[in-house]
Structures are given as structure tokens and as C-alpha cells.
A = this chain, B = another copy of it.
Amino acid sequence: MGKVKTRDRILDVSLQLFNRLGEPNVTTLLISDELEISPGNLYYHFKSKSDIVEELYGRFDHEMNDLLAVPEDAEITLDQQNFFLHLLFETVARYRFIYQDLVNVLSRYDALQSPFRRLLKRKQKAFRTICESFRHQEMMQISGEELAALCEQLTLTACYWTSYDSLSHLQERDRVDPGRGVYQMLRLLLPYLGEPEREQVQLISRAYLAD
């Protein structure tokens, strides 16, 4: 019933435009045009463009940190991990503007630098925790050396897959399918899984390819 507040509409539309066109290509004028409000009005709600970017980043950071709260000593199941990966890629896709022009965004919005690095470390840590849980449950055979490289690879893929994938599938730029990213992640784990789990993950991963 209650109509959406202008402030929130600004954030929503900005996010869509940032993702579709790249943040540096989106001017405050374009945002207000798209909303059919005046630029002055936009500046009534946000004192600068960086305020919009930083608030959007804040939401991303918050969602990701919730997601990455992986319990340290839990026995993580394959299904849980799957669900986790799905949410992860869905979230990254929804805020993909951050990764699409990462160096530029981080350099122009100084305030994002350290939160971003902290998040990266947390992501890496989450993957390590998951793999170690698998190892502990004897679902995974992996040496320390292999584990380190695998976690780097998982983190790299979590960050950049969405951008990479949209290079090939540039049609319909608004909807991004997280499935292909999850598939790629499962493929990375596969060689280190024990026999029964390998079969299971292979089946799950194929289902992701289907859509």
C-alpha cells in the first residue's frame, strides 16, 4: 500500500544502472532522469554520488558478512555448501558493479578499500573452513599445499566469475544466472572429493548446467 520512498527508489535504480552500464558511466543526471525526478531532488536525499555508492556497498557488505558467518567447527553437509554457494553467487551478481570495475571503484571511493579487503579475507577463510570440515569428515582428501591453492582459486572464481561469464553471455544483461558459477565451483572441488561424494556432486553440478 504505502508507496516506496524516493530515497529507496534512488538506491534501487542506481544499483540497476550501475550493474547494467558500469558505475563510472552512470551520472547523477542519468539516475534522476530514469526516476523522472530532478537532479536537485536526488541531492536532497543524498549529499553526493559517493554516498549512494557507499550505501549500496554497505548493503552488499552486510549481506555477504551474514552469508559468510560459517560456523567454525560444524560438520558441513554437501547440501548446505550448495545452498551457500548459490546464495553467494546470487548476491555477488546483484552487486556485480563492484567487481566489474574493481580498481576504479576502489580507487575513487576510498571508504570501500578496507571493508572490501576485509571481506575478501573473510571469503577466503569461509572456503577454508568448509574444505577443512569436509576433510575432517573424510569426504575430502587434500594436502595443505593443495588446500591453499584450491581456496585461492575458489575465492578468485567467487569474485570474478560473474564478470567473466557476462563477457560471453552479454545478451539480457539484467538477469544473471548464478547456476553456472556454482557449477564451476563444484568442478573445482570435485577432484579432491572421495568416491561416494564425487558421484553426488557430479549429479548436483550437472543439474546446474541444465538451466
Q: A residues bordering B, Cβ < 8 Å?
A: 21-22, 24-25, 100-104, 107-108, 117, 120, 146, 149-150, 152-153, 155-157, 159-161, 163-164, 167-168, 183-184, 187-188, 190-192
Chain A interface SS verdict (over half): helix
Give Cα A38 to B188, complex, Å: 52
- A105: min CB distance to chain B, Å: 8
B104 touches A149 (CB 8 A): no
- B156 touching A160, Cβ below 8 Å: yes
Smallest CB–CB gap between A194 and chain B, Å? 14
Q: Are A153 and B102 in contact (CB under 8 A)?
A: no
| B104 with A184: CB separation less than 8 A | no
Q: Roughly how many angstroms separate A108 CA and B26 CA in the complex, as a whole number?
A: 12
